[in-house]
Amino acid sequence: MANPRLRGFFWWKRWAKTNWIILVAGFTIILLALTVTIDSWSKESDLNGSLDPKTSLVDLTLLRNAKDRGAVCLDGSAPGYHLRKGFGSGTNNWLLHIEGGGWCDTVASCSSRKRTALGSSLYMDHRIPFLGILSHDPLQNPDFFNWNKVKIRYCDGASFSGNPESELKNGTELFFRGQIIWEAIMDELLSVGMANARQVLLSGCSAGGLATLLHCDDFRKILLKDARVKCLADAGFFLNEKDVSGNHAMHSFYRDVVRLQGVAKSLQRACVSRMEPFQCFFPQEIVKNTKTPVFLVNPAYDFWQIQHILAPDASDPYNNWRKCKLNINNCNASQIEILQGFRNSMLKSLHEFQQNKDGGMFINSCFAHCQTWMASTWHSPSSPRINNKTIAESVADWYFDRKVVKEIDCPYPCNPTCHNMDFSGGL
C-alpha cells in the first residue's frame, strides 16, 4: 500500500499541473449558475416593480487604437468595455466596475483561456445587462442610478497587472498586457468625460475586486484633485491560507501568476521592497499601503475561496468535501468548525484594516461570492442585510460620509437574509 504521505504529495503535484483546469472550469460553472440565478432574480425584481432587465442592455465598445498601443487581450484582440452615460445630477459622476474571472498561471492555462471571453474579445457578449451597482433603476440602485457607469471586460488573466517583458518568444502567441490595457482604457474614459468627474467609485468583482485594490491609488492620481474618489472591492479579499491538506494552494498559484505575467512591476513598491512579489498580490498586503479610501464587501463563507483555497479538489481526493462545497447546508459539524476557522482567519486578516478610519466593510455570513452586480443581493426587498442595511445602503453611507460602516455579521447560520448559493442540483 502506498505511503499516505507520498500519496498526498502526488496529489499535490497533480494539482500543480492541473490547477488551471480546476480554476477555469470552476469559474465557468459558477458563471453558469449565477446566470440562471440572475435571470430568476431579475424576474422577481420585475414583479416588484423594477425596470425590465432587457432595457438595461449595454453595447460593447472595443478600445480604440488598441493594437497601436499594444493594449491587447491574451490572444491579441482588442479589449473592451461597456459604457452607459449618466444623466441629470449624475452627469459628472462615474462608477466603474471591473469584471472578474480568475487568473492563469501557466502557458497552457493562458492558451486555453485565450479561446474564451476571459482571454479574447472575439468571444465576449456584445450586449450585457447592467444590474445591481450598474443599474439605472433608482429602485435597484438608489444612490448611483444616474451616474456614468462602465463595466470593464477582463481578458488578460492577471487582474490587469501583467507586463509584456515577461512574454514568451517561443511561438505561444500569448500577450501579457494587463497593465497596458488598464492604462489605455483609463485614457479613453478620460477622453470621453471622466476627466471632469466630481465623484467617482472604482469597483470590481472577484479578480476584478483584486484589480480594484491593485489600481486604486493610481486611479486616484489621474482624476481631479478635489474629486471624491473611493474604491470598492467585492469578493476580492483572497486569503493566503492553508487548505485542508495543509498545503498553501493559493500561495503557490499566485506565485506562478506573478512570475509568468511579470506582475511584480505593477505591484506596490513599498510592499515588494520587503517581501516576495507574489505576497504583494494578496489583498491583506495591498490594503496596508493603500491611501485611497477602500470598502470591502465579502462573504465570510466565500464559496469560491472554500472551493479553491480551503478545499480544492486535489486536496480532497476522496471527495469528503464535495457536497459541503456545493451547498453549505450539506456540511457536517466537523466541516462547519473548519469553515468557522476560515472565517476567523478572514477577520484576523482584516483586523488592521478595520482600524482604518477611511475604510469600510460589509462582511456577511453568506455562502456567496460577488454580491454587488446582482439586483437581489445589491439592493432589493429580499437582499442580505446586516443591522437592517443592504449592501447598497452600507456602501452609500460610507461613500457619502454619512456614517462609519464596519459591518461584520455573526457566524453562520445566524443571518436569515443570506442568499446562499446551491450548486448541488446535479448530484
CA distance 349 to 386: 20
Q: Over 70: is that where the pLDDT of 305 sits?
A: yes
Q: What is the pLDDT of residue 46?
A: 34
CA distances from 165 to 160, 260, 262, 275 (A): 15, 10, 7, 22
pLDDT band at 262 (very low <50, low <70, confident <90, very high): very high
Closest to 160 in 3D by CA, of 191, 144, 184, 131? 184
The conformation of residue 386, written as its DSSP 8-state character, comes to: B
More reliable by pLDDT, 237 or 167: 237
- Whether 206 is a known active-site residue: answer yes
| Interval 202-208 mean pLDDT | 98
Domain 53-426 has CATH 3.10.270.10: no
Q: What is the pLDDT of residue 166?
A: 86
Percent of the chain with pLDDT over 70: 86
Q: What is the pLDDT of residue 35?
A: 38
Q: What is the pLDDT of residue 22?
A: 40
Q: Supply the pTM of this predicted model.
A: 0.88
Q: Which residue has the cell 462602465?
A: 150
CA distance 352 to 145: 33
- Counting every residue, how long is the chain? 427
Q: What is the pLDDT of residue 34?
A: 44
Instruction: Give the pLDDT confidence of 347-376 residue by residue, as tens digits.
Output: 999 999 999 999 999 999 999 999 999 999
Q: What is the pLDDT of residue 370?
A: 97
Instruction: Give the pLDDT confidence of 73-102 residue by residue, as tens digits.
Output: 999 999 999 999 999 999 999 999 999 999
Q: What is the pLDDT of residue 361?
A: 98
For 89-223, where are the alpha helices, taking DSSP H only? Answer: 107-113, 178-191, 207-221
Q: Over 90: is that where the pLDDT of 189 sits?
A: yes
Q: What is the pLDDT of residue 170?
A: 59
Catalytic residue among 42, 45, 109, 206: 206
Catalytic residue among 369, 383, 394, 409: 369
| Interval 291-320 mean pLDDT | 97
| Interval 278-288 mean pLDDT | 97
Instruction: Give the pLDDT confidence of 312-348 residue by residue, as tens digits.
Output: 999 999 999 999 999 999 999 999 999 999 999 999 9
Q: What is the pLDDT of residue 403?
A: 97
Q: What is the pLDDT of residue 296?
A: 98
- Whether 379 is a known active-site residue: answer no
| Interval 34-43 mean pLDDT | 38
Q: Among 156-170, 301-315, 378-392, which is the least confidently predicted range?
A: 156-170
pLDDT band at 43 (very low <50, low <70, confident <90, very high): very low
Q: Over 90: is that where the pLDDT of 48 sits?
A: no
Q: Over 80: is that where the pLDDT of 31 sits?
A: no
Q: Over 90: is that where the pLDDT of 29 sits?
A: no
User: 199 pairs with which residues across the strands?
Assistant: 93, 228
- Whether 166 is a known active-site residue: answer no
Q: What is the pLDDT of residue 425?
A: 81
Q: Which residues of 29-53 are buried (b: 16+ CB within 10 A; e: fewer)?
A: ebeebbeebbeebbeebeeeebbeb
Q: How is residue 107 written as a grid cell?
A: 502557458
pLDDT band at 171 (very low <50, low <70, confident <90, very high): low
Q: What is the pLDDT of residue 56?
A: 76
CA distances from 134 to 80, 128, 292 (A): 17, 11, 22
Instruction: Give the pLDDT confidence of 51-61 residue by residue, as tens digits.
Output: 454 467 999 99
* Mean pLDDT for all residues in the chain: 89
Which of helix, strand or coil describes residue 80?
A: strand
pLDDT band at 274 (very low <50, low <70, confident <90, very high): very high
| Interval 135-151 mean pLDDT | 97
Q: Over 50: is that where the pLDDT of 20 sits?
A: no
Q: Over 70: is that where the pLDDT of 16 sits?
A: no
| Interval 104-113 mean pLDDT | 96
Q: Over 60: is that where the pLDDT of 186 sits?
A: yes
Percent of the chain with pLDDT over 90: 84
Q: What is the pLDDT of residue 5?
A: 30
Q: What is the pLDDT of residue 51?
A: 47
Per-domain residue ranges of the chain: 53-426
Q: Among 22-26, 384-388, 421-425, which is the least confidently predicted range?
A: 22-26
